[in-house]
Amino acid sequence: MTMNQTKTETGNGRVVVGTVWRSSGLRGRMSVVILTLALVPLAIMGGLSYKIADQTLRAQSIQQLDALRDIKTAELKRTIGEWRADVTALSESPAVVSALRKLTESPGGAAEEAAHELFESYLDNYHYEGMFLIDPAGKVLAAVAVGRAHERGPGSVEKRIGANLMQGRHRGHPLGTLPTALRDQPTDASVITDAVIIDGHPEIYIGTPVIDGQDTLGILAIELGWEDLNEIMHERPGLGETGETYLVGPDFRLRSDTFLQPVQRSVEASLEGSLEEHGVDTEHVRAALAGNRGVHETLDYRKVPVLAASGPLGDPDLQWAVVAEVDVEEVFTPTREMLKNLVYIGVITLVVVILATFFLSRRIIGPVSDAVVRLTSAGAEILAATAQQASGASEHSSAVSQTVSTIDEVQRTSEQSAQIARAIVEKSRESEEEAAGGQESVKQAVEGMDKARGHVESVAENILTLAEHNQSIGDIIASVNEIAEQTNLLALNAAIEASRAGEFGKGFSVVASEIRVLAEQSKKATTQVREILTNIQKSTNDAVMATEESTRSVNSAVDVVNQAGQSIDNLNEVIKEAGQMAAQTSASASQQATGMAQVLQAMQNVDTVTKQTTISTQQVEQAAHDLNAVSEQLRVQVIG
């Protein structure tokens, strides 16, 4: 795998984690954060506690084993020192010196009996296994056994009396080594023999020379008891179930019984059996026999991991190792129990944190989720309302544009009516001038009146059409007014919904206010237009009435002319009246044209405002879209 592939996989992993994190919702992310804040310190504290406890227990166990080994070594040295002091004191007692001298001069008989009685009294007081008097050549002069040594069988010790332990079948007996070992030693020296098996039992002896003046009479030897050593080594303060202390000789065989395997690895079994099954050949024992002191984590004779403190005994005659050890499993049992308790605490804490997170998220996120849902619903409603309002505004704008076109046509029609009225006035003047000319003029007047009647009827029709258009414009303006009122109502509803949306609806609230202002302006403009149209309708009605009156006058004039009995004066009067009416009609038509121009200008203003309203409504619709998108995004973030 290349470095680029590794980076790509790492990047993909981060993308996946980020996607999961974003899609988990506020409740999930809050749960992860709370769990992390609760469990990470707990894990760190548990790990540090476990590490500190492990180190503390290890150091404490090492210190305890090291101290116990030193204590056992000191007790052994004290016991061995007591042995040496006892044998030295006995060798210097006059009774022993006298008994040995008598036995040297006359072995056996009364001297032997006297020595026997003396030794029994000593053994009763000192609790040793046996006592021996040996001459310098290695011959046993007297021997007494008690305790375990006596239990080996009658005469098992006494039968050695008279035997030379340095020759024959007794050669090699530990007692036979004493004369040679003490030969070059000071007169107050004592020698301890190492343990050997004699008649199936381990034996250990201490001997010292018996001096009378300048003469060395022989050797006093004492058989020591193993119970003293086992009693010392079997004291187990603070060693628990697997701790023990024991002694090992230079041959890797035991010099005290073990606690864990008292049969297989007793002194007897170790000295008689094979080294592999009954000995103790371990790393820490070898180090102690080499003269090194220390504490090791190693395997014991059972191949079990132990903490072992070992060191040499430090006696010139006994090259033994003192060992104090305990199983590693037992040493660190408290740490394992603590680790188990930490796991229990962690599990309980995890459950409590999960439950607390669940209830907290329900109490905190629940209202937020409800508010977000309501906000999302309100955004959707606002979006629907603004869309409907935008559609209505577009229709409103289209209707206003059509109204402007219609009013433009009406205005052009009004201008044509004014021109026709001015033409009628001009014709009336011409008729008045020609009426003075006589009958021909009357005829011309009749013809002119006929034409005037046609024009007046045409004007009447145009004025009626203008009245109908005015009525249509009024209906359209009423529709525009209703649309403005609906726009105002929608803007008010939008403002209310925006206030409900809180911080997210401030921008939309501003837009809704602007729409409401524009709607009010539209309403005012339509009101003004309605007033103008009302005036135009009144003028139109007046014009219609004047036109009808002109028509009747023209008809009367025609009748008068047709009757041919009227004078020119009357005709002139009639023509003047007709001229005046035509002038009034022309003035009315001009006023109507001016009013329609004003209506057109007002409607153009309405059209401009309506287009601005449409643009604002579209902006509101876009803002509603944005608000709805933000609400949906917030819902996803909070609810997931």
Residue 103 above 70 pLDDT?
yes
State whether 408 and 528 are in the same domain.
yes
What is the mean predicted confidence (pLDDT) over 530-549? 72
88: confidence class by pLDDT, cuts 50, 70, 90: very high
| Domain-located, residue 9 | no
Mean pLDDT of the chain: 75
Q: Tell me which of 530 and 96 has the higher pLDDT.
A: 96
Distances (CA, A) of 426 to 445, 452, 591: 13, 11, 18
Which CATH number is 514's domain given? Answer: 1.10.287
State whether 204 and 317 are in the same domain.
no
| Domain-located, residue 350 | no
Q: Tell me which of 87 and 24 has the higher pLDDT.
A: 87
Which residue from 175, 109, 193, 169 is spatially nearest to 139, judged by alpha carbons? 175
State whether 219 and 289 are in the same domain.
no
pLDDT confidence of residue 571: 59
Q: How far apart are CA 254 and CA 389, in angstroms?
A: 107
**Mean pLDDT lowest among 17-21, 375-379, 448-452:** 17-21
State whether 108 and 148 are in the same domain.
yes
3-state SS of 268-292 is HHHHHCCHHHHCCCCHHHHHHHCCC
147: confidence class by pLDDT, cuts 50, 70, 90: low
Q: How many CB atoms lie within 10 A of CB 102?
A: 18
Which among 224, 239, 260 is the end of a domain?
A: 224
Domain that holds residue 256: 229-331
253 phi, psi to nearest 5 deg? -110, 150
State whether 322 and 440 are in the same domain.
no
280 phi, psi to nearest 5 deg? -135, 90
**Mean pLDDT lowest among 20-34, 280-294, 508-522:** 20-34
Q: Tell me which of 212 and 509 has the higher pLDDT.
A: 212
Looking at the DSSP bridge assignments, the partners of residue 288 are none
Residue 547 above 90 pLDDT?
no
For residue 144, the 8-state DSSP code is E
Buried/exposed code over 365-386 (b: 16+ C-beta within 10 A; e: otherwise): beeebeebeebbebbebbbebb
| Domain-located, residue 136 | yes
| Domain-located, residue 21 | no
Which among 224, 252, 272 is the end of a domain?
A: 224
What is the mean predicted confidence (pLDDT) over 64-87? 92
State whether 165 and 290 are in the same domain.
no
What is the mean predicted confidence (pLDDT) over 430-442? 63
**Contact (Cβ atoms closer than 8 angstroms) between residue 480 and residue 396:** yes
Highest mean pLDDT pick, 316-325, 372-381, 430-439, 588-597: 316-325
| Domain-located, residue 162 | yes
| Domain-located, residue 608 | yes
Q: How many domains does the chain have?
A: 3
Residue 281 above 70 pLDDT?
yes
Which among 272, 306, 331 is the end of a domain?
A: 331
Terminal CA-to-CA distance of the chain, rounded, Å? 37
What is the mean predicted confidence (pLDDT) over 100-121? 84
**Contact (Cβ atoms closer than 8 angstroms) between residue 602 and residue 448:** no
Torsion of CA 12, 17, 23, 29, to 10 degrees: -170
State whether 302 and 408 are in the same domain.
no
State whether 198 and 288 are in the same domain.
no
Q: Tell me which of 264 and 600 has the higher pLDDT.
A: 264
| Domain-located, residue 68 | no
Q: How far apart are CA 609 and CA 546, in angstroms?
A: 38
Q: pLDDT tens digit string along 564-591?
A: 556 666 656 766 776 677 677 667 667 7
123: confidence class by pLDDT, cuts 50, 70, 90: confident
Residue 373 above 60 pLDDT?
yes
pLDDT confidence of residue 309: 94
Phi-psi category of residue 199: left, alpha or beta, with phi > 0 → left and psi -120 to 50 → alpha: left
Q: Tell me which of 158 and 346 has the higher pLDDT.
A: 346
What DSSP string runs through 398-428?
Answer: HHHHHHHHHHHHHHHHHHHHHHHHHHHHHHH
Q: pLDDT tens digit string along 344-357?
A: 677 787 777 777 77
Q: How far apart are CA 272 and CA 411, in angstroms?
A: 144
Percent of the chain residues past pLDDT 90, beyond the cut: 18
Torsion of CA 204, 208, 210, 214, to 10 degrees: 160
What is the mean predicted confidence (pLDDT) over 588-611? 68
State whether 516 and 619 are in the same domain.
yes
369: confidence class by pLDDT, cuts 50, 70, 90: low
3-state SS of 586-601 is HHHHHHHHHHHHHHHH
pLDDT confidence of residue 109: 79
State whether 208 and 298 are in the same domain.
no
pLDDT confidence of residue 21: 52
pLDDT confidence of residue 81: 93
| Domain-located, residue 147 | yes
Q: How many residues does the chain have?
A: 640
Q: Tell me which of 482 and 170 has the higher pLDDT.
A: 482
Residue 153 above 50 pLDDT?
no
Long-range contacts of 527-531 (CB under 8 A, 24+ apart): 527/481, 528/602, 529/473, 529/477, 529/599, 529/602, 529/603, 529/606, 530/474, 530/477, 530/478, 530/481
Which CATH number is 241's domain given? Answer: 3.30.450.20
State whether 394 and 512 are in the same domain.
yes
What is the mean predicted confidence (pLDDT) over 514-520? 73
State whether 599 and 534 are in the same domain.
yes
84: confidence class by pLDDT, cuts 50, 70, 90: very high
**Mean pLDDT lowest among 283-297, 523-537, 557-571, 613-627:** 557-571
**Mean pLDDT lowest among 5-14, 411-420, 622-631:** 5-14
Q: pLDDT tens digit string along 326-338?
A: 998 988 776 666 6
Residue 1 above 60 pLDDT?
no
247: confidence class by pLDDT, cuts 50, 70, 90: very high
What is the mean predicted confidence (pLDDT) over 53-72? 80
